[in-house]
Amino acid sequence: SENVDTQHYQKCAKILKDTFGYAEFRAGQMEVIDKILNGQDALILLPTGGGKSLCYQVPALALEGITIVVSPLISLMQDQVQQLTAQGVKAAYLNSSQDAEESQQITEQLFRGELDLLYVAPERLLKSYFLNSLQRVKVSLIAVDEAHCVSHWGHDFRQDYRQLGRLKSQFQNVPFIALTATADHATQVDIQHQLQLENPFVFKGGFDRPNIRYNLLAKYKGFDQVVAFVKQQDGAAGIVYCNSRAKVDDLTQRLQSAGIKCDAYHAGRDTATREFVQTQFLKDDLQVVIATVAFGMGINKSNVRFVVHHDVPRSVESYYQETGRAGRDGMPAEALLLFDERDAARIKQWISTGTAPDRYDIEMHKFEAMEAFAEAQTCRRQVLLNYFSDYREEQCGNCDICLDPPKLFEGTTQAQQALSCVYRLKQDTSVQYVIDVLRGKSIRRILDNKHNELSTYGIGKDQSDNYWHNIIQQLIHQGLLRIDMTLSGILRINESARAVLKAERIVHLAVPKLSVDTSKRNKAE
Ligand code: ADP
Ligand code: ZN
């Protein structure tokens, strides 16, 4: 790119070619690297496989001194270090899998300035003796991988990551780079805040996985549906996720009796068995693995053709990550979600009763976003990508909604009514309050606030609460509105809504399906 320093570019292109064997940078990589070489902090949001690692590995080699990489997963650390070493890079890791002698050796290498990259688990890095000893070496860059773990808004918050905020003050003149594959808007903001990144260069890559077809079926006899689906797959490899070990075991038996080569993977099986299942699957000796969420971290099998969710996941991040294990080779792949609102109600019940008070709002918000995805009547890919602030206006043509669309109507008027109501309420109220004003309810709070004097008061009284709830959800899905969870669920207007309010853009909405057709359901399940 023309904005990149020429000398930086030449130096880094040489490293890319000589060390990593690649001819060109992917979009964004060199821009990020350039900022780091200028000493600026960076925040990278790129999906798995997007090429995040080179964003700190190349600077690690270009800069004098050592790059510290914070990573939460021992297995990923080992993989990366093995790969780097094979490429001739001076890299090592320190984590709890090593004995004292090994870690002593690496510490000595560190002090002798023999390492370009050191991967460290957060709990080790933050030990005061270790931090103090780092003052004796030249640290040129600090990379925080899986940075969403630092945020309690993230879907995988880790206590030992939280403490990483202390680093910035210890390494004031060292650039920081934070990297993640999954972070909604609130998490992105919080990562910057927690790690105390200074005016970071933010790079967001495309989250789209165009070869994955997103599909949703109303769940009526889940196991039968999975068996039928797997039988249609002509032996192609796949993963089926369930939300309990018991279901995993049951479904495995069902699929085995149906003649499918498959096995179960969950934390209830011993390590050797789990490793065996994983290896068999990687070698294509098993067609299907039926698993809990314990399966998949760091799995690198490129020809997974389908991922089925027998049960709805707890967050969009999990769903995206789990479905993202399909189609790594770029060939067509399918993600099937079986959805039943009763499952959703049950999960909300669990969240209500089983969540620590400080986690309740977040878990509920995350799950409600997942539920909204399942209930969406607009392109699923749009909903998914909007969630990661990767806004796009085009429908994808490769999801169940695009392929079998619900009935659309020209809903510009309804959209304007809802949007202008949010606007007149100063983008400062909840969804339900907006609905109450639209429907002209004589509620104490509305009257106290004199919101009954707004021009939008009662303009939607001919429709039900349910109808407006659905319309507002659709406007969120289309990226015109968003829910700001950092302000406890306030409805806000996105920039793209301006054109709608000025009547410069037409909005198509789906005719809300206000009750679900349950006639095909088998009540016996
Ligand atoms: P992430 O950490 O984002 O999941 P990786 O850094 O592991 O992704 O990169 C995914 C794959 O893409 C790796 O095999 C990596 O070597 C490859 N890759 C990254 N950047 C480039 C590039 N500029 N040219 C070719 N391959 C690349
Ligand atoms: Zn679509």
Write down the ipTM of this complex. Answer: 0.97
Residue 435 has pLDDT above 50, yes or no: yes
Q: Cα–Cα distance between 525 and 522 in angstroms, integer?
A: 6
210 alpha carbon to ligand 2 midpoint, in Å?
Answer: 10
Q: What is the distance, to the nearest Å, from the Cα of residue 98 to the centroid of all Cα atoms in its chain? A: 31
Lowest mean pLDDT among 322-336, 369-383, 475-489: 475-489
Confidence of residue 416 (pLDDT cuts 50, 70, 90): very high
pTM (predicted TM-score): 0.71
Separation CA 119–CA 411 (nearest Å): 53
- Residue 292 in tokens: 């809990």
Mean pLDDT computed over 411-429: 96
Q: Above pLDDT 90, what percent of the chain? A: 68
- Residue 401 pairs in a beta bridge with none
pLDDT of residue 358: 79
Mean pLDDT to the nearest integer, 462-475: 88
Average pLDDT over residues 3-22: 95
Whether the pLDDT of residue 96 is over 60: the answer is: yes
The ligand placed nearest to the CA atom of residue 26 is: 1
pLDDT above 70 (res 488): no
CB 35 within 8 Å of CB 199: no
Roughly what angle, to the nearest 10 degrees, separates helices 341-354 and 357-375?
170
Average pLDDT over residues 409-415: 96
- Bridge partners (DSSP) of residue 410 are 508
Residue 80 Cα to ligand 2 middle (Å) = 35
Instruction: Give the number of the atom of ligand 1 that is nearest the alpha carbon of residue 50.
Output: 3
Q: Is the CB of 50 under 6 A from ligand 1?
A: yes
| 403 alpha carbon, closest ligand | 2
Residue 167 contacts residue 156 (beta carbons within 8 Å): no
Q: What are 221-277's pLDDT values in tens digits?
A: 799 999 999 999 999 999 999 999 999 999 999 999 999 999 999 999 999 999 999
Q: What is the pLDDT of residue 97?
A: 85
Most confident of 30-44, 182-196, 287-301: 30-44
Query: For the residues 471-481, what does the mean pLDDT come to?
Result: 89
Q: How far apart are CA 292 and CA 279, in angstroms?
A: 17
- SS3 assignment, position 42: strand
Mean pLDDT comparison of 23-37, 68-82, 501-515, highest-scoring range: 23-37
pLDDT tier for residue 29 given thresholds of 50, 70 and 90:
very high
> Which of 45, 54, 73, 119 has most ligand 1 atoms within 8 Å of CB, for mutation?
54
**C-beta pairs of 488-497 under 8 Å, 24+ apart in sequence:** 488/361, 489/361, 489/365, 489/430, 489/431, 490/427, 490/428, 490/429, 490/430, 491/422, 491/427, 491/429, 491/430, 491/431, 491/434, 492/422, 492/427, 493/419, 493/422, 493/423, 493/427, 494/391, 496/391, 497/419
User: Is the distance from the beta carbon of residue 211 to the nearest atom of ligand 1 less than 6 Å?
Assistant: no
Taking 50 as the threshold, does the pLDDT of residue 523 lie above it?
no
- The residue whose CA has the least distance to atom 2 of ligand 1 is 52
Q: How far is the CA of 108 from the centre of ligand 1 (A)?
A: 31
CA–CA gap between residue 242 and residue 244 (Å, rounded) = 6
| 53 within ligand 1 shell (Cβ under 6 A) | yes
Amino acid at 451: H
Q: Which of 24, 26, 81 has most ligand 1 atoms within 8 Å of CB, for mutation?
A: 26
Is there a contact between 438 and 460 (Cβ–Cβ < 8 Å)? Answer: yes
CB of 19 shorter than 6 A to ligand 1: no
Q: Which residues surround ligand 2, an ion (CB under 5 A)?
A: 379, 381, 396, 399, 402
Q: Which helix (H) or strand (E) holds 309?
A: strand 306-309
Q: Give the mean model confidence (pLDDT) for residues 16-31.
A: 94
Does the Cβ of 49 fall within 6 Å of ligand 1? yes
Give me the pLDDT at residue 520, please.
Answer: 33
Per-position b or e across 236-245, b if 16+ CB within 10 A of its CB:
bbbbbbbbeb
The pLDDT value recorded for residue 144 is: 97
Q: Indicate if the pLDDT at residue 299 is higher than 90.
A: no
Atom 16 of ligand 1, residue of closest alpha carbon:
51
Predicted confidence band of residue 515 (pLDDT cuts 50, 70, 90): very low
Strand, coil or helix: 347: helix
CA 322 – ligand 1 centroid, Å: 19
User: Can you tell me the mean pLDDT for 470-482?
Assistant: 89
pLDDT at residue 525 tops 80: no
d(CA 476, CA 387): 9
